[in-house]
Structure 1
Amino acid sequence: MAETYDVVVVGAGWFGLAAAKAASQIMPDQSLAVLESAETPGGTWTKNRLYPGLKSNNMVGTYEFPDFPMAESKYGVKPNNHIPGTVLNQYLTDFAHHFGFFNKIQFRTKVDTIEPVGEAWKLFVTGPSGERAVIAKKLILATGLTSTPNMPTYKGSENLGAPLFHAKDFCARAPELKNVKNSVVVGGAKSAFDVAYAQVEAGSTVDLVIRDDGHGPVWIAPAFVTPFKKRLDQLLLIRWMTFMAPCPWGKEDGFGGIRGFLHGTFIGRFIVDMFWKILSADVISANGYDTHPELKKLKPWNSAFWIGSGLSILNYQTPLFDLVKNGKIRVHIGQIDHMEKNTVILADGTRLHADVVVCSTGWKKESPIKFQGLGPHEFGLDVSQSEKMKLNAKADREVLDMFPRLEKQPELRFAPKTSDPLRLYRFIVPSGYAFSRNIAWVGAVSSVSTASCATVQGHWTAAYLSNRLDRLPSTKAEITQEIMLHTQWGKWRYPCGYGAALPDFVFEGVPYIDMLLRDMGLNNKRKKSWFSELTEPCLPRDYAGLVEEWKATHDDSIKKV
């Protein structure tokens, strides 16, 4: 017989762990299981993905759960330092132990398919004991955005005669890379820079190949920016700066009037444009892209305004760009045409010696789990194709009416995504299941404020599944209307990021958290004064004690689940 649980969480990364904590605290009488395909918690930071030198983009203090501070005395990370991957793996493991659900995690357990069974879900899983079935009365999916590698295929790759793999496997394949003299790394994102740096540190030279019809080199900035040398990972969390981002849920922060001026008037839009121009110019100047012909190849192709959460931070022991200037990392903008024995040949005829090829080519932004038996619309909108086109057009008009600045889109070198984005209410719940309260996604967002977002999403999801939200639309039409506005906004806001496929948050993360907190009847203003609220970063520690606050007003008014 299938095992049966009241709540099943799939995935034990940041979002899965936060959801498991919230579920265990808000629904303490419900049986809980966490299914994790890896051998340790962590998601991106699971043990078998920790390649040499891997560190967090964020510094200590912005990358920790609110109710579990990353104490220097225990984890050894000093203030204003990035966090080593090994420390993050230990921290996330300790978090599960601290909140008493580590023994609920079933490791090396992969969910293959899921199908509805009445009001519950049947999961077919493969684990150490073989194949089996698990019944979940309520299902939380936390498989994240970095589960399925986007691995390209190359003509002649079978003749390469050298390791060829995705960056996800960089740690596992490390023993094969000893004594490598020349590495080819494909990609322009932060992970490509990480692999290139690690290979140089190991004694290799690197040819970095960035597609000329892709997104281009990542926006990567020093950890401390502006003339005042402020931490970038904290600047992105300052409330007054979030006003500079056109965001349809921005008014949830209580400053709708200011936002209306900045994005709805000519003078306001001029101020916003100047803000982003100064921000971009500061990074370009700090990195010295225009001071060296090789560095110029790494200069981003579009304004930081359009990029989204792909924005990264320089977190290396020694200057990355020095390796480009001295030829240890050679940058090529082009295409791989084919491969031969230990050789990568570019479309312009350039031949690159390759003892290894590592593809830092991103991830498929889709769930690795297959669903069956859901019906014609699966988890999309429960409307016809013609009706969906009308809803798309209506939402597009609403977005551009609110934010005229977005109509002038950047020129792209790649074909924009044309398929539907993930359509979820609050970026968590499928519209067709909003009133069933038996399934939710957490972590289906790309955010620079991961820890805080995971905490609040997890809490919101547990409150929603137990039918204890203070605010939820009463009709399916209202839910559909909001989903369309929020998801179509992404296409216009971040065409150079993930916006066309899924929620992409930079300055939008703080007001998103505001919105979820207000749904739960919680105070979203967490500082001691209005001045602090506007000028100090909204850090994870500001959201400490949310569950206790919520219980104080909700435990005696439990609705029927």
Structure 2
Amino acid sequence: MAPHSPVPVSDARSLPIRDHDGLRQALTDANLPTLLMVYMHYTEDEGMLERFAPHIHSPYAHNPAPVPAELEQELRDRLFGLLTQSPPPVERPLSQDLMRRMMSVGVAETVDEECVPMLLEQMGFETPVPRSSVPGRAAPAGFKVLVIGCGMTGIVAGIKLAEAGYDHVIIEKNPEVGGTWYENRYPGVGVDTPSHFYSFSFEINPEWNHYHPKGHDMQDYLLRVADKYGIRDRTIFNTQVLSCVYDADLGLWHVTVRSNDGREWVIDANAVINAHGPLNRWQLPDMPGLKDFKGPAMHTAAWDTRVDLGGKDVVMIGTGASGVQLAPAIAPSVKHLTILQRSRHWVIRNPEIGRQVTEGVKFALRHIPHYKEWFRYRVYWFAGDGLFVNVVKDPNWTGSDLSVSAHNEGMRQFALSQLQAATADRPDLFEKLLPDHPIFSKRILLDDGWFDTLKRDNVTLENRAVDHIEADAVVLKDGTRLHADVLALATGFNVAKMLGSLTVIGREGADLGRIWGEDDPRSHLGVTIPGFPNFFYTVGPNSAPNHAAGQNLISEVQVNYIIECLDAVVAAGAKAIEPTRMAFDAFNERIDRRMQDMIWTHPKANSYYNNSKGRIFLSWPYRLVDYWTAMRKPDLNDFTLLR
């Protein structure tokens, strides 16, 4: 999109809206700043924009004053008239300057000009040009791409490869698409990214039932997308990739796969996209005697839904993202729930997690032109780059040693006040829960009943160390014996060993597993590695947006970047592409330097973002917009084309 090209108008066939009762309810239920943006598309009334500007606030603002009731009603009345009039109002394309002003007012923050192109794409106003429509880039006959995994990223890869005209096959170990959201079925499972952002920019969904999707809602969305784009037709299910070995003479990857019935065979592919993701190698707690436990011991990612917890003594190990969802879901039915806390986390109360999307809001998303795009924008901003300021150290900060800037301290105080309020009647819980690290230095957890669950009579939060596990109990270091009928293992994933059990052998016998070791993966921009031609990683080292939500955005931009790399191979008549050692080293040196400015290297920060030596291997230390910009297309000066 050109820097100052106008924003497209909506499809006028959606107007006028003839369901007046439905529209009135939608205007009552809908988000007011989002309605203001819709109004601006039809009027370009900057006076109204200025009238609203002082009354729009961040959701993290303390006790913001409400919008005056008469101003609210005026906007709703004006919009009702515009959306029901016949003939419909004439809508003109908006300039990017006006769009940026609208964006800034809509979130009560200045939106930099460099962010606008990315935002327009993520809002669904602009769609990346399908590579198949770019002249001169048709893949040669026989050129084949193999994708490992059919979760969120694998689905995007299948869609975009098909658009670009690349023959491809997806290998999926499960019997269905969905990845994480197919596998995770524990009680209470959900997404801590807001629904209206955690989706593909080219498939914005107006039908979410909750403001944060439940696990089954997310899986249903991915199934609908897979159906629409024929993903299953290109997928081999119930099959695992064992190894990828590069043949330099032929310029092919020999990929060994094994089906669930034990049959093995080799698929030859010109390129491999590893989209197996980091959240499928679950990690069991390192506790002596775990194998001696006689009852069900279930990891959250391998939950046996046939196990009835009613009336049972359950010991849950772990208080991370899955633990804070699981405990509130099972506590009402169990006899007693003991929660073993291994580390403390900052928790923010988010009442929207459990809220259902009203029919009025769904009406707005379905029928009011531009509403779903602007609603997605607002959700993105407050769950995405609007949070970035929290993770950057201020070198002049002299406040608390548990924060890295004035803004970060403000967020710490916000979360601290919620913890104090939630535990005002339970000082013992406050002492157990109070984190000793800066907020945002680890993954923040969202509370939808967590604090209330911890105060139940049949729930105990235990932070004493575990000694061992027996057939029917967990035994603490001081000898205390915690009876257990069931162990619930909310202990996360082995993210650092990014290859898992996959063997990858590149040029001249280079073994990626040995190069990376147990927990020290490195790459160029999270996607490519020297010595491994046409082998592309997704959700790779130092590409995770750990300041915020946005994995869906990362998946999209990485896949588009990979296809641009393949386009470069095809255009040059080459066999393969790989990054130069110089570009790889320069990128990693820049990342390592930048990490010293980030909250994750704070002395009291320790999470799954860093490896055993303390190096931050997972996080992208810049904004989402910076990653989006860096991934527009490969800089061919950083690559070698192999012929």
**What does 1:44-63 align with in structure 2 at a 5 Å threshold?**
44-46=180-182, 48-63=183-198
Q: Look up the match of 1:428.
A: 527
Shift, 1:519, TM fit: 4.9
Pairing of 1:139-538 with structure 2 (within 5 A): 139-170=272-303, 173-211=304-342, 216-223=343-350, 234-239=381-386, 241-243=387-389, 245-246=391-392, 273-288=405-420, 291=424, 292=426, 293-307=428-442, 310-314=443-447, 316=448, 319-365=449-495, 366=497, 367-371=499-503, 373-374=505-506, 378-379=511-512, 421-433=520-532, 436=533, 438-444=534-540, 445-447=543-545, 448-467=549-568, 475-486=580-591, 489-490=594-595, 493-494=599-600, 495-501=605-611, 502-505=617-620, 508-517=623-632, 519=634
Query: How far did 1:489 drift?
Result: 4.7
Aligned mates of 1:342, 1:124 — CA distance in 2: 42
Which piece of structure 1 moves more, 133-142 or 334-343?
334-343
Q: 1:17 aligns with which of 120, 144, 155?
A: 155
Two-structure CA RMSD over aligned residues (Å) = 3.6
Residue type of the alignment partner of 1:218: H
How big is each residue's C-alpha offset from its partner over 1:296-344, in whole Å with a ceiling of 9 and x where there is no partner? 322223111422xx22322x3xx22112122333111132212234211
The match for 1:65 is 200
Q: Take 2:334 and 2:306, find their aligned partners in 1: how far apart are those partners?
A: 14
User: Within 1, Cα distance between the matches of 2:351 and 2:621?
Assistant: 17
Deviation digits for residues 387-417 of structure 1 (CA, Å, limit 9, x no counterpart): x9xxxxxxxxxxxxxxxxxxxxxxxxxxxxx
Equivalent residue letter for 2:344: P
CA distance in 2 between partners of 1:342 and 1:269 (Å) = 44
- 2:319 aligns to what SS in structure 1? coil
Would the aligned equivalents of 2:530 and 2:579 in 1 still touch at CA under 8 Å?
A: no
Q: Please report how far the alpha carbon of residue 245 of structure 1 lies from its aligned counterpart in structure 2 after TM superposition.
A: 3.8
Letter of the structure 2 residue corresponding to residue 140 of structure 1: I
Distance 1:467 1:268 in 2: 50
SS in 2 for 1:206: strand
- Name the CA distance, whole Å, in 1 between partners of 2:570 and 2:415: 42
Q: Is the 8 A contact 2:298 2:489 kept in 1?
A: yes
Assess, with a 3 A threshold, how the Cα gap between structure 1 residues 322 and 141 changes in structure 2: closer, same or farther. same
Corresponding residue of 1:6: 144
SS state of the match for residue 467, structure 1? Answer: helix
In the TM superposition, residue 39 of structure 1 has moved relative to its aligned partner by 1.5
Q: Which moved more, 1:371-380 or 1:448-457?
A: 371-380
Amino acid at match of 2:382: L
Question: Match of 2:69?
Answer: none
Structure 1 contact 54–194 (Cα < 8 Å) conserved = yes
Q: 2:253 aligns with which of 109, 121, 126?
A: 121
Cα deviation for residue 190 of structure 1 reads: 1.3
8 Å Cα contact 2:337-2:460 kept in structure 1: yes
Report SS of the residue matched to 1:458: helix
SS of residue matched to 1:500: coil
* Per-residue deviation, 1:99: 2.6
Q: Is the 8 A contact 2:595 2:621 kept in 1?
A: no
Structure 1 residues 266 and 160 mapped into 2: Cα distance closer, same or farther (>3 Å)?
closer
Alpha-carbon distance, 1:167 to partner: 1.8
Q: 2: distance between equivalents of 1:20 and 1:446?
A: 21
- 1:249-303 Cα offsets, whole Å, 9 max, x none, are xxxxxxxxxxxxx856679999961100001110121233662222432222311
**SS of residue matched to 1:512:** helix
- 1:478 Cα deviation after fit: 2.9
In the TM superposition, what is the alpha-carbon distance from 1:52 to its structure 2 partner?
A: 2.5
Compute the displacement of 1:191 (Å).
0.9
Q: Secondary structure at the match of 1:88?
A: helix
Task: Find the partner of 1:108 among 238, 243, 251.
Answer: 238
Q: Conserved in 2, the CA contact under 8 Å of 1:167 and 1:358?
A: yes
Distance in 2 (CA, whole Å) between partners of 1:222 and 1:469 is: 51
Tell me the distance in 2 between the aligned counterparts of 1:54 and 1:475: 42
Number of corresponding residues: 444
CA gap of 1:224–1:372, structure 2 versus 1, over 3 A, is closer
Letter in 2 for 1:35: I
Secondary structure of residue in 1 paired with 2:197: coil
Q: Distance in 1 between matches of 2:195 and 2:634?
A: 29
TM superposition score normalised by structure 2: 0.62
Residue pair 2:345, 2:435 contacting (<8 A) in 1 also? yes
For residues 518 and 373 of structure 1, the distance between their equivalents in structure 2, rounded to whole angstroms, comes to 26
Alignment partner of 1:57: what SS?
Answer: coil
Greater displacement, 196-205 / 323-332: 196-205
Contact preservation (8 Å) 2:591, 2:621? no
Calculate percent identity across the aligned residue pairs.
19
Structure 1 residue 158 displacement after superposition: 4.6
Per-residue CA deviations over 1:22-68 (Å, capped at 9, x if unaligned) read 22222x1x21101111121111101x422233221122211110000
Residues of 1 paired with 2:383 and 2:622: CA distance?
6
Deviation at 1:493, TM superposition (A): 4.5
- In structure 1, list runs of 5 or more residues that go unmatched: 247-261, 383-387, 389-417, 522-558
Aligned residue type for 1:83: P
User: Equivalent residue of 1:183, what SS?
Assistant: strand
Q: Secondary structure at the match of 2:475?
A: strand
Displacement, 1:419? Answer: 6.5
- CA shift, 1:223, in A, is 2.4
Measure how far apart 1:420 and its partner are. 5.5
Greater Rg, structure 1 or structure 2? Answer: 2
Structure 2: how far apart are the matches of 1:267 and 1:280?
Answer: 15
State the match for 2:101 in structure 1: none
Say which SS state the counterpart of residue 513 (structure 1) adopts.
helix
Q: TM-score, normalised by structure 1?
A: 0.71
Using the TM superposition, name which of 459-468 and 491-500 deviates more. 491-500
Asked whether the equivalents of residues 343 and 352 of structure 1 are also in contact (C-alpha less than 8 Å), the reply is: yes
Deviation at 1:560, TM superposition (A): 11
1:402 is matched with none
What is the identity, as a one-letter code, of the residue corresponding to 2:151? Answer: G
Distance, in Å, in 1 between the alignment partners of 2:570 and 2:464 is: 51
Residue 107 of structure 1 and its aligned partner are, at CA, apart by 1.3
How many Å separate the matches in 2 of 1:303 and 1:336? 26
8 Å Cα contact 1:182-1:205 kept in structure 2: yes
Flag the 1:506–1:163 CA change in 2: closer, same or farther, 3 A.
farther
| Mapped contact 2:315–2:337 kept (Cα < 8 A) | yes
C-alpha deviation, 1:370, in angstroms: 2.5
The amino acid that maps onto 2:388 is T
CA 1:283/1:24 → structure 2, altered by over 3 Å: closer, same or farther? same
Whether 1:42 aligns to 2:157 is no
* Residue 538 of structure 1: aligned partner: none
